[in-house]
Structure 1
């Protein structure tokens, strides 16, 4: 029997609101629009996915912006720029306020927000994110959860009493040893790490399991057959077809 994880955040778990495995667009629908833009998020939801996975970076002035890489396309570091400078260089970029608007406008949408870290801002972004999310209505927070590859950031988010569930992202098997020490309600493993034995152990520990990045029909069907709680992928049609929802 695997060790029990630390008690997860008591907030409602978004994935328990739906009966079927959840299908999330990876950075929205990045093959249809610029990843993490409002257009990409809308495209994934318009395709009838359950929600989206998106990424959060912190600008120099503390603004929390949706962007995967720590640098813009031109090589500029987001952490070294103000929000205004980021928007001047990458006008499609949206922030936490626009993500809230999306949840307000789409009452069925779920959002998994991956929080990126870039020292020395890890501590600040945890506290700032907790404060901002605590001001959101409960009805919006209930459709959101945070994830990160950084175990220290997850601990900081828990210490800051962020009012949404947390999930641990893992790309290597060695990282999975940290799970029993983390205050998480879910694990997001790379699809190559999902085995029947691991999945059983995670479920026995009370963790939901979301596999990424799933872009082939065969792989999606295999993971659903194993019993994962959700899939994260770039192509909505692949996920929907595998789940029998196309």
Structure 2
């Protein structure tokens, strides 16, 4: 049986409680092989079944039985952090109908109140009409209520100077930076290595992940400030995953790999065979059924 290096090491020290994942023998899938199965992350919530990055989407993930959800954080004109993927409002809201005379549709050019007035659900289906773009504070409170865990992405930090400090402040104010949350329920990731360096400098106790596929020769540099390499699945193979696993990350444990975006069973099994630690997916039920993940 293949046992992920970080999972095995943590289990040895914490009596089968995964520090990073927060899963335990009591809550994991039954049977002796649960440590070899990847974590399944609901990408932007259960985004194949509800409008992405909405409260409805993470609620759907909860009802489907998924603990881990992923989101994207950006900032409004008046400084409110909101949960949305694109840096414009066009694709997932009715902004063009509500504000037809605006010359820009970018999130950073709208106030939180203006964004609050938009419908972020009808584009996905009429049953979701009236869904809103949540603030990060609203989102964190809902994840807490649902007893879920969060893979939080700081999106395009180059557009929002200081967003790392502000994100950490909201997490602190919503109770997400105590030892229990930090060690078991929270990972912060970004495509920006500078942003992840900043998070690690400000809160070195937080588990971090770099989104991308650095060259193997560059991995030791990333290991200085991050715990995970989270690549597009098409850019990796088993040798690459082994190379990541062979390094100790920022917290002194074997680095891990969470691959994205995998939405079909065949690909999920292929990625599992590479030895990844997690799979990020719009269809968490499909992936769970294919790989026995949790």
The answer to whether the aligner puts 1:67 opposite 2:84 as a matched pair is yes
Q: Deviation of residue 174 (structure 1)?
A: 5.2
Q: Deviations over 1:36-88 (max 9, x none)?
A: 11111111221122311111111122211110000002461111111111111
User: Residues 133-152 of structure 1 correspond to what in structure 2 (within 5 A)?
Assistant: 133-135=171-173, 136-137=175-176, 138=178, 139-141=180-182, 142-152=184-194
| Superposition RMSD in Å | 2.3
Structure 1 window deviating more from structure 2 (161-170 vs 79-88): it is: 161-170
The answer to whether the aligner puts 1:24 opposite 2:62 as a matched pair is no
Q: Deviation of residue 106 (structure 1)?
A: 2.2
TM-score normalised by length of structure 1:
0.85
Separation of aligned partners in 2, 1:184 and 1:174: 12
Q: Is the radius of gyration larger for structure 1 or structure 2?
A: 2
Q: Deviation of residue 31 (structure 1)?
A: 2.0
Separation of aligned partners in 2, 1:26 and 1:55: 10
Runs of 5+ unmatched residues, structure 1:
1-11
The answer to whether the aligner puts 1:81 opposite 2:81 as a matched pair is no
User: Residues 11-160 of structure 1 correspond to what in structure 2 (within 5 A)?
Assistant: 13-15=19-21, 17-18=23-24, 19=35, 20-73=37-90, 74=96, 76-90=105-119, 92-107=132-147, 109-122=148-161, 124-135=162-173, 136-137=175-176, 138=178, 139-141=180-182, 142-160=184-202
Q: Deviation of residue 118 (structure 1)?
A: 4.8
By relative contact order (CA 8 Å, sep 6+), the higher-ranking structure is 1
Query: What is residue 7 of structure 1 aligned with on the other side?
Result: none
Count of aligned positions: 231
Separation of aligned partners in 2, 1:215 and 1:88: 32
Q: Deviation of residue 179 (structure 1)?
A: 3.7
TM-score normalised by length of structure 2:
0.72
The 3-state SS of whatever aligns with 2:134 is coil
